[in-house]
């Protein structure tokens, strides 16, 4: 398995690290980094990379315990100072390269039930580069013999430069408690804000699938078929995490514990053999 894959089209470049959670190590337009970038040799975790896939769930499963179909499944808490399981298992496992050309790559990961996730699934992702955009797809297939909860998304870290400004529309925002789990939903129109003064770590819903991120060098347009968005940044961070996701943080447990509406939370349950997929496009242009 190659340690890294390099895609390029004209001045647009993307480096992928299949062994490290199928992550994107970096994305550049010319010499300008679009995502935070690290040399592959300097990465020890996908969470240090420019972006990584979220599968079979995004954000947190509270206190590393999945409640589903009347059962309670202990999960592995993510290393660090949090008691939760975070961002699924795909980013923690090596992915296989199924196809690779100068402008295209297809990766896969096959999961067997373990302490990190109790349901078998297959995941695949494709990355296609053109002169000014990166197109990604992510798919998950339920390979277990029972109805299984599934979610997916992406976790890109966009470089925060001077005068970076984020703008998107939404209809709601999920507030968080001190434990970094959602407490309740409030109405929200989204954001239109200078990133330097922004302190946010929330999931927005009713998102129509478009985000604009502008600074003095680049205009980046992020689009997705998903309709929820997690945004994270504060004054101590040199990035803005803009994460299209399929469900609300801790959605599976919110539904089980509080009788939340599955559709409102974005919870998907797949029968054996069923699949779900999503698309993400990162389009970049220089500011003239």
Model confidence over 32-63: pLDDT tens digits? 999 998 766 678 889 899 999 999 999 999 99
Mean pLDDT, residues 258-277 taken together: 92
102, 95 in Cβ contact below 8 A?
Answer: no
Tell whether the model's pLDDT for residue 258 goes beyond 80: no
Say yes or no to pLDDT of 19 above 80.
Answer: yes
Dihedral sign from CA coordinates of 178, 183, 188, 191: positive
Average pLDDT over residues 209-230: 98
- Rounded CA gap, 49 and 115, in Å? 25
Mean pLDDT of 102-127: 98
Measured in degrees and rounded to the nearest 5, phi and psi for residue 183 equal -110, -45
Burial of 178 (0-12, 13-18, 19+ CB in 10 A): exposed
What pLDDT score was predicted for residue 78?
84
pLDDT of residue 1 exceeding 60: no
For 127-131, 142-146, 199-203, 260-264, which range has the lowest pLDDT when averaged over its residues?
A: 260-264
| Token couple for 28 | 């550049």
**pLDDT > 70: percent of the chain:** 98
Two structure tokens written together for 149: 């909860």
pLDDT tens digits for range 132-183: 999 999 999 999 999 999 999 999 999 999 999 999 999 999 999 999 999 9
What is the pLDDT at residue 90?
Answer: 97
Structure tokens belonging to residue 110 = 């096959």
CATH code: domain of residue 241: 2.70.98.10
**Residue 25 reports pLDDT greater than 90:** yes
Location of structure tokens 């008691």: 83
pTM of this prediction? 0.96
Q: Which of 132-141, 241-250, 255-264 has the lowest mean pLDDT?
A: 255-264
pLDDT single digits (tens) 73-92: 999 998 777 899 999 999 99
Report pLDDT for 220. 98
The total number of structural domains that make up the chain = 1
Predicted pLDDT at 91: 96
- Structural domain that includes position 125: 5-286
Inform me whether the pLDDT recorded for 209 exceeds 70: yes
């Amino acid at each position: 398995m190659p340690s890294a894959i390099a895609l390029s089209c004209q001045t647009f470049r993307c480096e992928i690290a299949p062994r490290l959670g199928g992550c994107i190590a970096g994305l550049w337009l010319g010499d300008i980094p679009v995502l935070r970038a690290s040399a592959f040799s300097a990465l020890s975790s996908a969470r240090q990379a420019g972006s990584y896939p979220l599968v079979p769930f995004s954000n947190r499963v509270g206190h590393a315990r999945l409640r589903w179909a009347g059962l309670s499944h202990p999960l592995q808490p993510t290393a660090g100072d949090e008691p939760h399981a975070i961002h699924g298992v795909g980013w923690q496992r090596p992915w296989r390269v199924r196809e690779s050309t100068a402008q295209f790559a297809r990766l896969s990961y096959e999961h067997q039930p373990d302490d990190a996730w109790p349901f078998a699934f297959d995941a695949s992702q494709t990355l296609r580069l053109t002169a000014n955009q990166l197109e990604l797809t992510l798919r998950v297939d339920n390979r277990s013999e029972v109805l299984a909860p599934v979610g997916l998304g992406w976790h890109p870290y966009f470089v925060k430069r001077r005068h970076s400004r984020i703008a998107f529309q939404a209809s709601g925002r999920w507030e968080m408690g001190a434990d970094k789990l959602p407490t309740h939903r409030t109405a929200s129109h989204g954001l239109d804000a200078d990133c330097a003064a922004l302190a946010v770590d929330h999931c927005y819903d009713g998102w129509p699938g478009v985000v604009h991120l502008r600074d003095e060098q680049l205009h980046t347009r992020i689009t997705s078929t998903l309709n929820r968005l997690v945004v994270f940044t504060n004054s101590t961070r040199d990035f803005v995490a803009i994460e299209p996701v399929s469900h609300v943080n801790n959605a599976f447990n919110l539904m089980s514990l509080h009788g939340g509406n599955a559709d409102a939370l974005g919870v998907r349950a797949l029968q054996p053999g069923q699949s779900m997929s999503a698309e993400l496009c990162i389009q970049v242009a220089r500011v003239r």
